[in-house]
Amino acid sequence: MVNASRASRQPVENATGPQGATRPDIATPLVAWFRAEARDLPWRRPGFPAWGTLVSEIMLQQTQVARVIPRLEAWLTRWPTPRDLADSPPSDAVRAWDRLGYPRRALALHAAATAIAEQHDNVVPRDVDALLALPGIGDYTARAVAVFAYGDRHPVVDVNVRRVLARALLGQGGPGPANAKQDLPLMASVLPEDREDAAATNAAVMELGALVCVARSPACDACPIADRCAWRAAGYPEHDGPRAPKQAKFAGSDRQVRGLVMAELRASDVPVTPAEIAMVWPDAEQRDRALASLLRDGLAVGDDASGYQLPGGAD
Ligand code: SF4
């Protein structure tokens, strides 16, 4: 259900897209809204280090803000620079990741920290290509660090951004599957020339998608671009294009079993025996699949004879 009145739906046009298509100027009202209303989050405060931005972006990829903040603060207190993390064994990173989920991210962060310490003199690179060359750093994270840590002018696109752009600019109720060849030029087409305003626009579109233009029940009455939103202007037509795939149910899934085996490994100071792992889940086939995938991902090491533990050894 859309929370909106349907008055004054005339688009306000004064920007041009990459193929010459006229786009409404959504940047100006969004930046003003963002500067007045944005949440006070640690990574938005002046002086927040680029290393902190990199850690926060990786943590935020699959985990909610409220769960990330305390873990991020603890992480940066323990490892204030990439080299501090690189000097610790990967098992410490996986333990400190705790219950943020998708613990491969902890290993990726450890590998990236090692590369930054060894190849970049312990300074997080600014260049998108240099960031992309770090192990485990994808296109979104590289762009987010260049923009949010260094203030450079690049489009940054996550799922919230894609939803806002699909609605406001394309008149569709939701985004289709991610497609960087389309998503990045579309976001680039709304960025102001000024670097600072461009960075604020990226953050503002993301914030709008997280707080106002949410997937269900967007709060259009509180939206700073309601007067130029194409989907609203069209009367909120149903989204009938291809949809992003839905996430599978967690309960009973292999992901849940992986998480339980990981918790067992994290909690133990010594290698965990197959019999102990057998206690965490009744279905042997699922358990074996979970353990095999953890071994494949480098999140566990060992065998049935010597037991299993986190990489880099148990504490
Ligand atoms: S962009 Fe604004 S007006 Fe358009 S659907 Fe989202 S919240 Fe509503």
Q: For 36-48, what is each residue's pLDDT tens digit?
A: 999 999 999 999 9
57 is known as an active-site residue: yes
pLDDT at site 238: 84
**Could you tell which of 8, 37, 212, 216 is best to mutate to test the pocket of ligand 1, judged by most ligand atoms within 8 Å of the CB?**
212
For 278-303, how does the pLDDT look when each residue is reduced to its tens digit (9 = 90+)?
988 988 999 999 999 999 999 999 99
Instruction: Choose one of 225, 227, 236, 239 to mutate for the ligand 1 pocket test, by most ligand atoms within 8 angstroms of C-beta.
Output: 225
pLDDT at 3: 41
Closest C-alpha to 147, from 76, 108, 211, 200: 200
Q: Which atom of ligand 1 is nearest to the CA of 224?
A: 2
Name, of 9-23, 186-200, 242-256, the range with top average pLDDT. 186-200
Contact in structure between 231 and 167 (CB atoms under 8 Å): yes
| pLDDT(97) > 90 | yes
Confidence of residue 269 (pLDDT cuts 50, 70, 90): confident
CA distance 50 to 30: 25
- The arithmetic mean of pLDDT across residues 87-114, rounded, is 94
* Residue 246 pLDDT exceeds 70: no
When pLDDT is averaged across residues 233-241 and rounded to a whole number, the result is 82
Ligand 1: distance of its center to the CA of 230 in Å? 9
Reported as a pLDDT band with limits 50, 70 and 90, residue 1 is very low
What pLDDT is attached to residue 205?
98
Q: Which residues line ligand 1 (CB under 6 A)?
A: 4, 164, 167-168, 212-213, 218, 220, 223, 225-226, 229, 231-232
Protein residue with least CA distance to atom 4, ligand 1: 229
Q: Whose CA is nearest to atom 1 of ligand 1?
A: 168
* Model confidence pLDDT, tens digit, residues 134-181: 999 999 999 999 999 999 999 999 999 999 999 999 999 999 899 999
- CB atoms near residue 212 (< 10 Å): 20
* pLDDT for 243: 56
The answer on pLDDT for 14 being more than 50 is: no
Measure 183 CA to ligand 1 centroid, in angstroms: 18
Contact in structure between 116 and 311 (CB atoms under 8 Å): no
Residue 263 has pLDDT above 50, yes or no: yes
Nearest atom of ligand 1 to the alpha carbon of 218: 7
DSSP 131-190: HHTSTT--HHHHHHIIIIIT--------HHHHHHHHHHTT--SS--S--HHHHHHHHHTT
User: Does 22 have pLDDT greater than 80?
Assistant: no
Q: What is the pLDDT of residue 279?
A: 86
Reduce the secondary structure of 147-161 to three states and give it as a string. HHHCCCCCCCCCHHH
Task: Name the residue of 231, 236, 238, 239 to mutate for ligand 1: max ligand atoms within 8 A of Cβ.
Answer: 231
Residue nearest to atom 6 of ligand 1 (CA): 213
The whole-number pLDDT of residue 267 equals 86
